Amino acid sequence: MFKKILIANRGEIACRVMTSARRLGIKTVAVYSDADARAKHVDMADEAVRIGPPAVAESYLLGDRIIAAARRSGAQAIHPGYGFLSENPEFVEAVEAAGLVFVGPPASAIRAMGLKDAAKALMARAGVPVVPGYHGERQDAEFLAAEADKIGYPVLIKARAGGGGKGMRLVERPAEFRSALEGAQREGQASFGDPACLIEKYVTQPRHIEIQVFGDGHGNAIHLFERDCSLQRRHQKVIEEAPAPDMPAAVRSAMGQAAVDAARAIGYSGAGTVEFIVDGSGPLREDGFWFMEMNTRLQVEHPVSEAITGLDFVELQLRVASGEALPVRQEDLSIDGWAFEARVYAEDVPKGFLPATGRLDHLRFPEGAEFGPGSVRIDSGVRQGDEISPWYDPMIAKVIVHGPTRAAALNMLSTALEGCQVTGSVTNLEFLGALSRHDGFRRGEVDTGLIARDLDTLVAGAAPSRNVLALAALGGLDLVRERTGDDPWDRLAGWRHWTDAKQYISLEAGDRRIEAQVTGLGKGRFTVDVDGGTVALGVVPLGGNGVRVELEDRQLTADLLREPARVSVFSDGRCYTFGLPDALAEAETDQTGGDTIIAPMPGLVRTVLTETGAAVTKGDPLLVLEAMKMEHTLPAPRDGVVAEVLVAVGDQVTDGTLLLALEPENA
Ligand code: ADP
Ligand code: ADP
Ligand code: MG
């Protein structure tokens, strides 16, 4: 076994590989771009080597620099993760030429599967069922259109070099063929530098079922059962599971055998995945699956297969790469329980799943474990405070659950997603949660069109209830605090001597602006007028961000998080974040003219920058008020002379308090 390896990747997969390496006593070397100098994978590694600026073309795709880093650090092998250089045969050859081991298949196997058309032709020769279609060299539009007619519509055009759902066009009618072909060619050229396309039969109501395989270069090849990845959006996987729902034993073994045949045909070693498109219009059949492509690497969704087999695939990869034979045989393997994986991304779902960026100011995952039975596993490459930058994949985490049955595992997935809290970036958590509760999905009726069919309901986020708004108002006004300190102000939070202790706050939710009025009744009880009604509630801090909310006839718990410019309520498994339009900034712009400065929110007078009798110019800073842990400067509303300063440094004031007055203008 290796003593030291370099991981030529970043993010969750780099961290995941290091976890196994560490368990096996292998030292790890990370590589990083300037954008990742403080990244989690760099921290986790025993040592780390800078490879360049943030752009992937100048860092994570620079094979030579990565190989040099490996040699310099004395690593014996390079694990490529997925993406980046993982399926680049020239890189594999360069690694080997440098006297290092590539943790993956031989370059020849990657090449054989590198282009979808050649791979299909090869598989057809090896007796693996392939989707009917044209996979040849000819590319003139007339010829391809004639082939499409022969295949019969609908057809799918695919860029042969495509991946990640790119370069693909579904064509329903002959009249649409030409423009679709041009589109696929353009995308193939732009994304992969290769415009060539293949045409295949579009399987209606398809399921995507893939088989995990392993080879060892000692003549052994096994499969580790299937994953169903039919929950897709625009041909990209969203939630994966293993095993596949309603998979008959005979179909499982036929697909497993076909995948092993595929692996043997190219002398495969290491981890790989053979993807099949499957007729999902009825029960699965032995003659109802067709080879789509082979991914010659560890796949994003490999953890669900690890869960049901109890094997660590990175360990297997490392053992095979170091020359060992596979430690398991086909007949040793069996399926234990059910597993799901959901991909949590920083993305704006309502805006069409646009990738998002931001600093993860607050990040909580449910208690995570390795892939034991009945467990939740979180694979993540980010920590609280880390940045989701525009440079790389906006993945935040993979949430993986393993339960005894499909129903139990799916419940665990819902609960685990509810346990994830993120602020600082929008995420797809709510969408994933809705998907995990989708009736058809719960029944196992999956196909690649499910998400698109029900997109509107899956994307429609729940509107915050009045109780949530009331809590947000209390949180935004910082009225819910642990009353543990000796400071009487802390203990009296939410309680005032004066009778009319009303406070106002605006909450921003998207384009919506919600006004709330809070009345403190003492002892942590309030009434909140919001959204056309009144909520009476008591709030008891539970430590951390947790609060117990006492409503009229029931109690519930929630997390309430106050950050400088926003407040978040985590309740009912949902996360509601509201912007707090800076009341003060508004006051500043509103207070153009006028004779006075009035406290626009409760706070502490930090600094007094003027005195009675002083001449001031409009906009001069006169007072600094500290509110909600932020300082706000209050400017002179107009040119004039200060008549009176009514507060002193250290005074605690409520909103509406008169702080300073100017001499009347015509005096
Ligand atoms: P998989 O086929 O392993 O499930 P996907 O098809 O969802 O992966 O991902 C699309 C492609 O994008 C993958 O083939 C992978 O090469 C690439 N990719 C995804 N995430 C990352 C990442 N964090 N870093 C680099 N490449 C990535
Ligand atoms: P990629 O390289 O982008 O992963 P694939 O060839 O693996 O491309 O296909 C991605 C997805 O496109 C599949 O998971 C499936 O949803 C859809 N797809 C591919 N081929 C077909 C087909 N012949 N019929 C129907 N859907 C297909
Ligand atoms: Mg694919």
Nearest to 239 by CA among 325, 164, 304: 304
Check pocket membership of 163 for ligand 2, CB cut-off 6 A: yes
Looking at domain 338-461, its CATH superfamily turns out to be: ATP-grasp fold, B domain (3.30.470.20)
Q: Domain residues of the chain, as ranges?
A: 4-103, 132-201, 205-336, 338-461, 466-579, 596-662
Pocket test for ligand 2, best of 158, 170, 235 (most atoms within 8 A of CB): 235
Runs of H (alpha helix) within 220-359 = 249-265, 302-309, 313-321
Nearest to 657 by CA among 496, 453, 418: 496
- Architecture in CATH for domain 596-662: Beta Barrel (2.40)
Query: At 589, is the pLDDT very low, low, confident or very high (cuts 50, 70, 90)?
Result: low
* pLDDT computed for residue 588 by the predictor: 52
3-state secondary structure 156-204: EEEECCCCCCCCEEEECCHHHHHHHHHHHHHHHHHHHCCCCEEEEECCC
Whole-number Å distance, alpha carbon 235 to ligand 2 midpoint, is 6
Report how far residue 178's alpha carbon sits from residue 142's, in angstroms, rounded to the nearest whole number: 9
Q: Give the span between the Cα atoms of 604 and 601, in whole angstroms.
A: 10
277 and 206 Cβ atoms separated by less than 8 Å: yes
Kindly report the backbone phi and psi dihedral angles of residue 59, in degrees, each rounded to the nearest multiple of 5, phi listed first: -145, -90
Ligand closest to the CA atom of residue 206: 2
* DSSP-derived secondary structure for 415-435: HHHHT-EEESS--SHHHHHHH
Quick: pLDDT tens for 263-307: 999 999 999 999 999 999 999 999 999 999 999 999 999 999 999
Distance 623 CA to ligand 3 centre (A): 62
**Are the CB atoms for 281 and 246 separated by under 8 Å?**
no
* Best residue among 7, 82, 294, 295 to mutate for probing ligand 1, ranked by most atoms within 8 Å of CB: 82
Topology match between the domains 4-103 and 338-461: no
The CATH superfamily assigned to 205-336 is: ATP-grasp fold, B domain (3.30.470.20)
Q: What is the mean pLDDT of residues 248-274?
A: 97
Residue 123's nearest CA partner among 261, 251, 227, 285 is 261
Gap from CA of 431 to ligand 2 centroid (Å): 22
Which bound ligand lies closest to the C-alpha atom of 300?
A: 1
Rounded to the nearest angstrom, the distance between the alpha carbon of 164 and the centre of ligand 3 is: 7
Distance 302 CA to ligand 3 centre (A): 14
At 191-245, the pLDDT tens digits run: 899 999 999 999 999 999 999 999 998 989 999 999 999 999 989 999 999 999 9
Residue 269 contacts residue 319 (beta carbons within 8 Å): no
Give the closest residue (by CA) to ligand 1 atom 16. 83
Q: Are 623 and 658 in contact (CB under 8 A)?
A: no
Alpha-carbon distance of 484 to 477, in angstroms, equals 19
Which protein residue's CA is at the shortest distance from atom 25 of ligand 1? 83
Q: Is the bond into 243 cis (omega within 30 degrees of 0)? A: yes
Rounded Cα–Cα distance for residues 366 and 399 (Å): 9
Return the SS3 of 58: helix
Architecture of domain 132-201: 2-Layer Sandwich (3.30)
**CA–CA separation, 596 vs 599, rounded Å?**
10
Query: What is the per-residue pLDDT for 522?
Result: 84
CA distance 121 to 160: 12
For ligand 1, the distance from its centroid to the CA atom of residue 346, given in whole angstroms, is 15
Q: Whose CA is nearest to atom 14 of ligand 2?
A: 208
Name every residue whose Cβ is closer than 8 Å to that of residue 645 and which is 6 or more positions away in sequence.
608, 610, 611, 612, 659, 660
Element of type H or E holding 635: strand 630-635
3-state secondary structure of 315: helix
Mention every residue, 6+ apart, whose C-beta is less than 8 A from residue 448: 206, 207, 208, 230, 231, 232, 235
**Average pLDDT across the chain, whole number:** 92
Q: What distance in Å separates the CA atoms of residue 384 and residue 371, rounded to the nearest whole number?
A: 23
CA dihedral 451, 456, 458, 460 (to 10 degrees): 160
Angle between helices 89-97 and 63-73 (to 10 degrees): 30
Q: How confident is the model at residue 489 (pLDDT cuts 50, 70, 90)?
A: very low
Among protein residues, the one with the nearest Cα to ligand 2's atom 12 is 235
Q: Which ligand has an atom closest to residue 165 CA? A: 2
The residue written with tokens 């106050």 in the block is 562
Shortest-distance atom of ligand 2 to CA 133: 23
Q: Counting atoms of ligand 1 from 1, which one is nearest the CA of 60? A: 25
Tally the C-alpha atoms within 13 A of residue 355's C-alpha that lie toward its C-beta: 10
Pocket test of ligand 2: the residue of 277, 295, 450 to mutate, having most ligand atoms within 8 Å of its CB, is: 277
- Ligand 2 pocket, 279 CB below 6 A? no
Q: Assess whether the C-beta atom of 277 lies below 6 angstroms from ligand 2.
A: yes
Contact 570, 614 (CB under 8 A): no
> Is the pLDDT at 653 greater than 90, yes or no?
no
The residues facing 538 across adjacent strands are: 525, 550
Mean pLDDT confidence for 315-338 = 97
pLDDT of residue 482: 60
Other beta carbons within 10 angstroms of residue 250's beta carbon come to 11
CA 49 to centroid of ligand 2, rounded, Å: 37
Which H or E element spans position 556? strand 555-563
Q: Is the CB of 203 under 6 A from ligand 2?
A: yes
Instruction: Verify whether ligand 2 is closer than 6 Å to residue 448 (CB atom).
Output: yes
Cα 429 to ligand 1 centre (Å)? 19
Closest CA to 399 of 388, 387, 415: 415
pLDDT category of residue 87 using cuts at 50, 70 and 90: very high
Best residue for ligand 2 mutational test, from 292, 297, 448, 450 (most atoms within 8 Å of Cβ): 292
Residues of the chain above pLDDT 90, percent = 80
pLDDT > 50? residue 491: no
- Span 426-456, pLDDT tens digits: 999 999 999 999 999 999 999 999 999 999 9
Q: What architecture does CATH give domain 466-579?
A: 2-Layer Sandwich (3.30)
Q: Tell me which DSSP letter residue 255 carries.
A: H
Task: Return the minimum-mean-pLDDT range out of 319-323, 365-369, 568-572.
Answer: 365-369
Q: Which of 300, 304, 313 to probe ligand 1 with, by most ligand atoms within 8 A of CB? A: 300
Query: If you average pLDDT over residues 582-590, what whole number do you get?
Result: 55
The contacts of residue 167 (CB under 8 Å, 6+ apart) are 158, 159, 161, 184, 187, 188, 191, 192, 197
H or E segment at 491? helix 488-491
Do 476 and 494 meet the contact criterion of CB atoms below 8 Å apart?
Answer: no
Among all bound ligands, the one having the nearest atom to the CA of 130 is 2
What pLDDT band is residue 485 in, cutting at 50, 70 and 90? very low
Q: Residue 41 C-alpha to ligand 2 middle, in angstroms?
A: 32
Q: Is the CB of 273 under 6 A from ligand 2?
A: no
Neighbour tally for 593: CB within 10 Å: 9
What pLDDT, on the 0 to 100 scale, is given for residue 469? 97
447 pocket-lining for ligand 2 (C-beta < 6 Å) = no
Ligand 2 binding pocket includes 117 (Cβ within 6 Å): no
Q: Which residues are catalytic?
A: 297
Q: What is the pTM of this model?
A: 0.84
Q: Is the Cβ atom of 531 under 6 angstroms away from ligand 2? A: no
Residue with tokens 């690890």: 306
Residues with CB under 6 A from ligand 1: 11, 82-84, 163-164, 236-237, 295, 299-301, 393, 395
Report how far residue 397's alpha carbon sits from residue 416's, in angstroms, rounded to the nearest whole number: 12
For residues 515, 519, 525 and 531, what is the CA-based torsion angle, rounded to 10 degrees? -30
What confidence tens digit (pLDDT) does each residue in 116-167 have? 999 999 999 999 999 999 999 999 999 999 999 999 999 999 999 998 888 9
Reply yes or no on whether the pLDDT at 593 is more than 70: no
| Cβ atoms within 10 Å, residue 488 | 8
Residue minimizing CA distance to atom 5 of ligand 1: 164
pLDDT in tens, 22-57: 999 999 999 999 999 999 999 999 999 999 999 999
165 lines ligand 2 (CB under 6 A): yes
The bound ligand whose nearest atom lies closest to the alpha carbon of 167 is 2
Closest CA to 89 of 119, 72, 65, 112: 112
Task: For residues 233 and 353, give the distance between their C-alpha atoms in angstroms, rounded to a whole number.
Answer: 9
Q: According to the model, what pLDDT value does residue 495 have?
A: 46
What is d(CA 592, CA 226) in angstroms, rounded to the nearest whole number?
A: 68
Tell me which ligand sits closest to the C-alpha of residue 227. 1
CATH class of 4-103: alpha beta
CA distances from residue 506 to 475, 503, 591 in whole angstroms, order as listed: 12, 11, 18
Q: Which atom of ligand 2 is nearest to the CA of 448?
A: 16
Determine which residue's CA is closest to atom 17 belonging to ligand 2: 235
